[in-house]
Structure 1
Amino acid sequence: MSLQSSLTHAINQRAEFFKQAALQQTDCFRVFHGTVEGENGLNIDRYGNAWLIQTFHQTLTEQQLTQITEILNAHLELPIIYNDRAKRNSRIENNLADDFNDFACSEQVIQENGIKFTSKLRHEGQDPLLFLDMRIGREYVRANSQGKTVLNLFSYTCGIGTAAAIGGATRAVNVDFSSFALAAGKKNAELNEVADTCEFIQSDAFPALRQLAGLKVGGRRGQKLPKYPKLAATQFDLVFLDPPRFAKSPFGTVDLINDYQGLFKPAMLTTKSGGTIVCCNNVAKVERQAWLNSLVRCVEKQGRSVSSIEWLHCHEDFPSFDDNHPLKVVALTID
């Protein structure tokens, strides 16, 4: 199937989804999920008043970009931002015309289920300021935060924390190492008038999490530990754990394939008895049942038990092969 045909088919398949999104005050979603829908490494999203095209493997030809533009404009005429990330560790390569560049680099406001989020399609980082496939996580947290305390780890721009505050949380603590991401998170809280509920801690996740869990802060062998914010041991009603695939710091190594438990154990210890921890793993080759089994074993080794398990599945704008999406999200209630 040609690119034109694949994109047209994807848009037609989403006709009912587009209607529901409008009714639910949502103007940010995936329009074309290339890996599954016929063009590996090509994603097309709507972010508010713009279409965002991203390529991760192969740069689009002028002809392909023209074809995509015509199809998108026939559906809804919006500015089209093309971020080519096919080279150099996913950094954006291509230049835009001046008017589109000004638009891409300026702050916009998008909506998801009526929640407002700041958006900037080109900025000092690599990714858009809201990960659209995590919509199901934000919906779950919003629906399950009334009267609860919430800890949002690896918070990025604090979409989970914002959703928790809107859902009635009494306290939403966001932890991330990036001052840029937390600044966007503060903007999100302000946009939705929940700044009084949200807290923002700029810290490496390891020392923050270990202190909250009441554990000693250590580091990788031979590494001198930098300064970090001092935190008191605290347990939360709901903990959201969404780490990157792999990252190293003086305090430890994030490795979702070989050592998810290194983060899960202290995160579980910060979860109150009867509370919920939501775990995310975005590595495709990690098998979901084996991963879940390892989490349950870790809970049991601490003398606790899992009383309920709920899988959260991505929405239909993120189709997957055989309903086995690379992003796995599971909510565990722990006694």
Structure 2
Amino acid sequence: MLYISALQERKQAVFNEKNFYPIKFTMKKTTGSPIIYKDAQLLVVDKPTGFSSQAMTEGEVGITEWLALHLQYQIDLYSSLTKSCSGVLLLRRKNQIEKAENDQPVKIAEKKYHFISAKRYRGQTEEDGSWLVERDNSITEESVRFRFLEEGRDYSLYEAATLSCCRRVQEFAEESGIAIVGDGADSPFARLFLHCHSIRLAESGHEFISSTPDSFSFVLKQRDKVLIDTAIAWERRLGWLQLITNSYRLIQRGELDLPVSIDLYDNTLSITGFSEEKTSTQLRTLLEPALDYLRDKLAWQGALLRRHAQNPHQKKLIHDVIQWGAPISSSNIAHEHLLDFEVNINESQHVGLFLDQRDSRRRVWQIAEGRRVANLFSFTCSFSAAALAGGAEVVFSVDLAGSTLARGKGNFALNHLDESGRGKFIKEDVCKWLQRQERKYARNPEEFTPWDLIICDPPVFASAGKGQAFHVEKQWPELARQIRMLLSVRGVALFANNHRGGNASYYRAELEKHFSLVRQMSPPMDFPRLAGSPEHVRIYWCQV
């Protein structure tokens, strides 16, 4: 739930001809919440690094899209930050504009940025130690006033006061000989060390502040690289996911220089190691700086670390399992919006909920009303639960594994969705189910009842019984053809796969042969696309 999280410091009263503001105050972000301030007109947030203010490419989700998707907030930008820059972001609530005819346009008096450079400024300064860089580009005059703040061992912290955008701060810093760390491919760190620390409004004098990120301090103090990378990973998330769920990925594989991923389920860490060389105990020792940092942020209580075998045919896929901290319950509940899902953090291969499909479940919820839905390779039926909660006419969950369907029925019961009778569970090979549907259609197309939404999130590889095997790359073209044929004129299909070694162009091209519109969606914010790493998940929304 969205809420105001701010500290108000009462200062002097301010009066001007247009508005009377009885209190001049400063708003600071409270630890754990990305919401700095909100009222009928304004929403002020702490933007994560690596997350756009607004979508710039097909299928991308920026802050504005995330707020619309998950919190139903329709907003415009008052200010903007580049994808790499973090900090204070001013937003205007569009759904409130017509109701607030007397609201005055918000004008910004000053923005202050903090940034780190590997260089110390050697030019001339004024008496207060600051210096001004100006540029007249014939359209507008732009200026940035820089100030040195703190010196570390190899890096220095600076402040930039301006009305210009963060790109101009980057340009003027480079002109001053203090290029910002992370502004280039040769940076040793996985973020741009530029942060919008504060924004002060012109007429009211109200100031909104986001504290300088932990990673800045760690770099200045030359702390352990694992600790710095963990702080950067946290700064890609910043408590946004805690507004809608208690379960999400804290560390994506590739965010640390260690072969691990770390998920949080309520107050328990589920850690997966991808190393044949290091034991689970060795990985735990190497992770100690990261785990201590995350404990300060989240107060996690128990942890389980297990390793994935690179060749599961020679060794059990899940092995070398260790636990520590508080005892881990045999059953935990993952909350996501208004739904609950049972998860099992133990030695089994699957916890029971794919966190990388959170945004997709939300989209299914939003479009499901009145639709006939088929969820193929349904696993524990989280998509099915989202569709039925969103008002679907009927939802069929199809999977060959009876054990996962049983868990899906449990999820329905957990959310009281079983009472309607509109959820159907089919224990059958998906390929055979599709063939049966195709035969029904071929016998009498006019009497065939088409599907309005089909979800297809197959495994990369699976046993299909009787010595047969399913390979997603091989089966993908046929899945695309059959699903398109079974859809209604308003039909929508969601396709996804986790084939990290697969050819992205191939998967999209096969869908485009059958659908008029194919849009690849970005993964949730806790599964960032990392330079040099394969895509973790591919998600396609397709329209007939």
| TM-score normalised by length of structure 1 | 0.82
- Name the SS for the 1:43 alignment partner: strand
Q: Is 1:12–2:232 an aligned residue pair?
A: no
Displacement of 1:111 in angstroms is 0.8
> Whole-Å Cα distance in 2 between the matches of residues 98 and 3 of structure 1?
21
Match of 1:228 in 2: none
Secondary structure at 2:378 match in 1 = coil
Which residue is equivalent to 2:319?
Answer: 92
Whichever structure has more strand as a proportion of its residues is: 2
What is aligned with 1:157? 380
**Corresponding residue number in structure 2 for 1:184:** 407
Partner of 1:119: 343
Which residue number corresponds to residue 303 of structure 1?
none
Of 244, 251, 256, 1:38 maps to 256
**Is the 1:308–1:333 contact (alpha carbons within 8 Å) kept by the matching residues of 2?**
yes
TM-superposition CA deviations, 1:217-240 (whole Å, max 9, x none): xxxxxxxxxxxxxxx975311000
1:165 is displaced (CA, Å) by: 0.5
Q: Describe the SS at the equivalent of 1:162.
A: helix
Q: Please name the residue that 1:255 is paired with.
A: 471
Write the distance in 2 (CA, Å) between the matches of 1:70 and 1:97: 13
Aligned residues: percent identity? 23
* Paired residue type of 1:126: Q
CA contact (8 A) 1:142 1:167 kept: yes
Structure number with the higher helix fraction is 1
SS, match of residue 300 in structure 2: coil
- Cα deviation, residue 243, structure 1: 0.7
1:296 maps onto 2:296 in alignment: no
User: Does 2:478 correspond to 1:268?
Assistant: no
Q: How far apart in 1 are the matches of 2:373 and 2:456?
A: 11
Two-structure CA RMSD over aligned residues (Å): 2.6
Could you tell me whether the CA contact under 8 Å between 1:254 and 1:260 is conserved in 2? Answer: no
Q: Secondary structure in 1 aligned to 2:474?
A: coil
In structure 1, C-alpha distance between the alignment counterparts of 2:433 and 2:485, rounded to whole Å = 13
Q: Which among 295, 306, 331 is matched to residue 73 of structure 1?
A: 295
Paired residue for 1:287, among 503, 510, 518?
503
CA drift of 1:70 comes to 1.6
Contact 1:151/1:173 (<8 A) preserved = yes
- Offset from partner CA, 1:176-198 (integer Å, 9 cap, x none): 11222112111111122211322
Partner of 1:200: 425
Greater Cα shift, 280-289 or 132-141: 280-289
Matched, 1:109 2:333: yes
Shift of 1:66: 3.4
For this pair of structures, how many residues does the alignment match?
Answer: 303
Question: Whole-Å Cα distance in 1 between the matches of residues 543 and 517 of structure 2?
Answer: 5
Q: CA deviation at 1:44?
A: 0.7
The 3 A distance-change label for structure 1 pair 257 and 8 is same
Maintained 8 Å contact 2:302/2:324: no
Contact 2:527–2:536 (8 Å) recurs in 1: no
TM-score by length of 2: 0.52
| 1:326 pairs with one of 513, 527, 536 | 536
Shift of 1:274: 2.5
**Residue matched to 2:79:** none
Equivalent position to 1:50, from 247, 250, 268: 268
Q: Secondary structure in 2 aligned to 1:118?
A: strand
SS of 1:34 mapped into structure 2: coil
Q: Give CA-to-partner distance per residue, 1:114-149, whole Å, 9 cap, x none.
A: 3111111116x3021101011122111111101101
Does residue 1:23 correspond to 2:223, yes or no?
Answer: no
User: Is there any run of 5+ residues in structure 1 with no aligned partner, and where?
Assistant: 217-231, 300-305
Give the match's secondary structure for 1:135.
Answer: helix
**Greater RCO structure (CA 8 Å; 6+ sep):** 1
Alpha carbons of 1:52 and 1:186: their partners in 2 closer, same or farther (altered >3 Å)? same
CA distance in 1, matches of 2:540, 2:485: 17
Q: Gaps spanning 5+ residues in structure 2: where?
A: 1-187, 189-224, 310-314, 442-446
